[in-house]
Amino acid sequence: MKISVITVCYNASKTISETLESIQSQDYSNFEHIVIDGMSTDGTIEMLNQKSDQIDQFISEKDSGIYDAMNKGIALATGDVIGFLNADDVYAYNSVLTDVSKAFEQEKSETVYGDLQYITADGPEKVLRHWKAGAYRRQRFKNGWMPPHPTFFAKKELFENFGSFNTDFKISADYELMLRFLFKNQVTSAHIPGVLVKMKVGGTSNQSINSRIIANREDRMAWKVNGLKQMPFTTILKPLRKISQFWS
């Protein structure tokens, strides 16, 4: 099973090396690494060119946002399975891709995901949030649940059959895509009970109150564009579910 790992970046010179090292340290050999850069101006491009032997495909050009860049990566992917590891994220241990491959094969699943930790961006690594996703059950989406997207791997055929990221969404396209795959089209999923990815704080959807307002509005839109009826409290429960992650 070949796995395509897609990294989207823009002005990530302070963190991209750790991401590359994290991928190169994986003990799973049958993977490709695709990097999509949005024409960085801080030395990221030069750094990536110096490490070209660690990257299978590299594009640097203007895009229409992070999800447009991710779609470019999906279009280039040649793997059986696609996952995303962005420029401020690292795999939690060296056999993450091995465990993901085993989960696909043993569970005969179309998607695989695990748990996520948010860590400090500077200084000694400190866990700020621990997102324990738990096993997937269809009803959980109505209760505000979603898998952590940085840990989410899906077979390439799902993107071909059901579409890639909807770029009408600026913050919640990952939520809409997983809702479309798992809930609407009821593809099979397997949960790996452990932390697969560590994410440094400061992601697009977590930067400000205004971002959270937009994300909440887009969460509601995700159900609507898929012709799905959500529970009245779904979008309220979704952010409330995060509270326990800060002391779990």
pLDDT tens for the chain, residues 1 to 248:
999 999 999 999 999 999 999 999 999 999 999 999 999 999 999 999 999 999 999 999 999 999 999 999 999 999 999 999 999 999 999 999 999 999 999 999 999 999 999 998 876 678 888 999 999 998 888 888 899 999 999 999 999 999 999 999 999 999 999 999 999 999 999 999 999 999 988 544 445 567 777 888 898 899 999 999 877 666 555 555 555 555 55
Helix (H, G, I), strand (E, B) or coil at 26: coil
C-alpha–C-alpha distance, residues 166 and 176, integer Å: 8
Give pLDDT, residue 203: 47
Which DSSP helix (H) or strand (E) runs through 130?
A: strand 127-131
Which CATH number is 46's domain given? 3.90.550.10
> Is the pTM here over 0.85, yes or no?
yes
Contact residues for 116 (Cβ-Cβ < 8 A; gap 6+): 130, 131, 133, 148, 150, 151, 195, 196, 197, 198, 199
Neighbours of 191 (CB within 10 A): 20
Domain encompassing residue 59: 3-246
C-alpha–C-alpha distance, residues 192 and 30, integer Å: 20
Domain count for the chain, please give it. 1
Give pLDDT, residue 213: 77
Q: What is the DSSP letter of 147?
A: -
| Radius of gyration for the alpha carbons in the chain, expressed in angstroms and rounded | 17
